[in-house]
Amino acid sequence: MFDATENDPISPAMRALLEVFSTELSEVKFPDVDAEVLEEGASRVRAEAEAVARAQAALEAARQALADSQDALLQKGQRALAYARVFSEEDAELSAKLEAISLPKRGVRAETGVAPEAGAQSEENSPRRRGRPPKTRPSAPLFSEGSAPEAAVAAEPSVSAAAVTPRPVAA
C-alpha cells in the first residue's frame, strides 16, 4: 500500500539508516540493535501504517453513510413538517409549535462540508442579500474650502461686482 517514495511512513533518514545497516553494517551487531531488529521494526511500522490507512478509509465510508442518512432524514422531516403544517391549520396552538420548528434547507451540509446544527440560525446560514449594495454617503463635506458658490462667483473675472450680490449663507 505504501511506496518507498511519497507515502512511506518511514522517514528518509530512517530509510538511509536501514540501508546502511542492510549493506555495510549487515554483519555488525550492537546490543539490542542490528539490521534484523531494525528491519522488524520497519515492517511493524509499515503494517501499522496500512492499518491506519484502512481505518481512515472505513471512517470516510462511515462518514459518507452518516451524511447520506442525515440527508434522507432531513428530506423526510421536511415533508413531515409540511404535512403537519397543513394538518394543523385549524389548531392554532399546534400550528404555532410547528411554525417554531425550522429545519435547514436541503444542500446546506454539502455546501459548507459540515452538518449544520438543527434549529441554529446564524448569519452564515441565512441567505445572501441580493441586488445592488446600498450607496455609501461621502464623509467629506459637499463643498470644500474655497469651492463654495460664493467663491466661484468671486473668482469669475467677467462678472462685475455690482451685478452680483452675495446672499447670506445660513450656518
Residue 128: pLDDT band by 50, 70, 90 thresholds? confident
Is residue 9 within 8 Å of residue 2, measured between CB atoms? yes
Whether the predicted pLDDT of 64 surpasses 60: yes
The domain ranges of the chain are 12-112
Q: Which three cell numbers stand for residue 168?
A: 447670506
What per-residue confidence (pLDDT) applies to 1? 44
Q: Which residue has better confidence, 118 or 15? A: 15
pLDDT (mean) for 11-15: 93
* Residues 90-118: tens digit of each pLDDT: 999 999 999 999 999 876 554 445 444 44
CA gap 168, 24 in Å, rounded: 103
CA gap 29, 97 in Å, rounded: 78
pLDDT (mean) for 41-68: 96
Q: What is the DSSP letter of 130?
A: -
Instruction: Give first-to-last CA distance, the chain, whole Å.
Output: 83
